[in-house]
Amino acid sequence: MLRYVVLSAFLSVACCARAADNPYPWIASAYLVKRDGRLLWAGGEQRRLPPASLAKMMTALLTLERGELDSIVAVSRGVVQETGTRIGLKPGERFRARDLLAATVIRSANDACRALADHLSKSANEFVTMMNRRAAALGLIDTNFIDPCGHDREGQYSTAHDLARLAESVMQFPEYMQLAGSAEASIRTVDGGRSFRFHNTNALVGRSPGVIGLKTGFTEGAGRCLVALAERDGVRVLIVLLGAPNRWWNAEGLLDRAFDAPAQ
């Protein structure tokens, strides 16, 4: 019962907020809401903060732009040193790039992400350079990557504004959108010796009306982060939350409010 009272209170406040620059300052360290590409609300959107696994959107973008998703990726020994969320890859195993991309986007698996980075470059440092060059080309002036998978690293940061632009870039790829909106997926090694099944880390997928992705993130330094995209009746809403203690609850409230906002 308390849950519905809290949601009702949230929406009541939201309905009273009209053109305020930052009508929801309590929901996250930084946030941004767009409806069909038009900015509705934002707070701290230019604040540099750790992006956690939202950084994987750049790894995914570079993978998709390279193409060759059926190319074979051999898992290196460095991959098994990845910490945090993993699916348990082993050195020497071979996968198609598209399957590792699935594990990276859906499960946010750090070992799969690292395997892609190793496949696309000669070293982790070279891949980070690739990430930052692409960020510069996209005009992400307040973004700097240090780690391909989003681990907390000194000097790694982005903003809600920049991450929204990055999200809009990966949204151009149907492959990414299909993965981001999948509730679960399974992959296997090229030789079929091992298979993996995993569920989407985005709790809104399959539960909140119209949600079709895009990426979740969490580290101790970044807190709980989310880029959420939803479509209802041909209208799309994009939300970025950085450092949001109640990301699922607040994202649903923001989505509902954004879809109810008058079109301009």
As annotated, the active-site residues are 53, 56, 108
Q: Interhelix angle for 110-120 vs 124-137, to 10°?
A: 90
Contact status, residue 183 vs residue 206, Cβ threshold 8 Å: yes
Q: Produce one character per residue of 98-124: b if its CB has 16 or more CB atoms within 10 Å, e if not.
A: bbbbbbbbbbbbbbbbbbbbbbbbeeb
Contact 196, 206 (CB under 8 A): no
CA distance 210 to 42: 22
Distance CA 115, CA 135 (A): 21
Q: What is the dihedral of CA 187, 198, 168, 204, to 10 degrees?
A: 150
Residue 158 buriedness (CB in 10 A; 0-12 / 13-18 / 19+): buried
Which amino acid, 167? Answer: A
What is the Cβ-side half-sphere exposure of residue 208, based on CA atoms within 13 angstroms? 24
What's the one-letter identity of residue 211?
A: V
- The torsion angles phi and psi of 95, rounded to 5 degrees, stand at -135, 160
